Amino acid sequence: MEWLNYHHLLYFWMTAREGSITRACRKLHLTQPTVSGQIRALERSLQAKLFERSGRALALTETGTTVYRYAEEIFALGRELQDALAARPTGRAVRFAVGVADSLPKVLVHRLLEPALHLGTDMRMTCIDGEPDRLLAQLALHELDLVVTDYPASPRLGLKTFSHLLGDCGVSFLATEQLARQYRRGFPASLNGAPLLVPVAGTTLRRNLEQWFDEQGIRPRIRGEIADSALLKAFGANGNGIFAAPSAVEQDVTRMYGVAVVGREESLRERFYAVSVEKRLKHPAVVAISQRARNELFRG
């Protein structure tokens, strides 16, 4: 196994941070040939150029930029270790990285995740959204602490993860007041031929809607297929069609987007999961999210 020479990494990091070998030498109290030689040795071990000339200055290559980011974290952790051993406060925020399935309503995600920011500790939350299977792969690599999605992790992915049901709720159909008045009477049969905005194919809500429409014999007029849930609601708020949202956040959506309820369907169930690498939820932020879901969002 090849070991990274941290002395070489330190000289590279200091040069990148200071912007020149000359300034790095002054900080390190070393000669220029020594620092230059150590950086070249690091480049040979990594088999990549870390710097390139930009006029009279040094600039990081693409690989150099990646190495510098890792070096920043490595030496920050080293300083933190020294502080911890000296019983000094580290000032480092507790990390909480969460992935959010891109099809989930952002207002519901906000309601779920907000408790993590009100814990007694200094919490720094990082949220990224994306395709669920990609987020679950990041979770398995411990790049994320949690993934919030609307379906449990599939065993076919071969990942050691655990899906915790946060709760479920019915679906509300919403639209501008004008459209709501027009299609509220006789709901849900009134949706036959009604203008509808739906998530893109392949999402859980889209599949559930299509199955329910088939069971009810309803054929709505699809006016838009929109992946981003916030954009879908913005189109709905502008009168472009009726859209579906989890009943758990119905009041939030009507208030934020100025829309009204066309009808509610309890047989259509939206389920939400917290997927983690923990069989029992232990991370304080994840526990707080689970409690918010049970006690407030999905208590009905």
Contact 52, 59 (CB under 8 A): yes
Find tokens 């501008």 and name the residue. 176
Residue 239 confidence (pLDDT)? 95
Backbone angles phi, psi at 210, to 5 degrees: -65, -40
Domains 94-167+272-297 and 168-271 share a fold: yes
The pLDDT assigned to 58 comes to: 82
pLDDT in tens, 147-167: 999 988 877 656 678 888 999
Per-residue pLDDT at 19? 84
Tracing tokens 């019983």 back to the chain, one arrives at 87
94-167+272-297, which class in CATH?
alpha beta
Nearest Cα residue to 126 out of 91, 93, 98: 98
Over the chain (300 residues), the average pLDDT of each successive run of 10 is 79 88 87 90 91 81 89 82 58 77 89 84 82 86 88 72 89 97 96 96 92 95 93 95 95 95 95 85 82 81
Give the start-to-end residue ranges of the domains of the chain.
Answer: 6-85, 94-167+272-297, 168-271
What is the fold, at CATH topology level, of the domain defined by 168-271? D-Maltodextrin-Binding Protein; domain 2 (3.40.190)
CATH topology (fold) of 6-85: Arc Repressor Mutant, subunit A (1.10.10)
Note the pTM of the prediction, 2 decimals. 0.66
CA distance 208 to 8: 57
pLDDT on residue 300: 58
Q: What are phi and psi of 145, to 5 degrees?
A: -95, -20
**Which residues share a beta bridge with 53?**
58
The pLDDT value recorded for residue 85 is 63
Q: Which of 87, 266, 99 is nearest to 169 (CA)?
A: 266
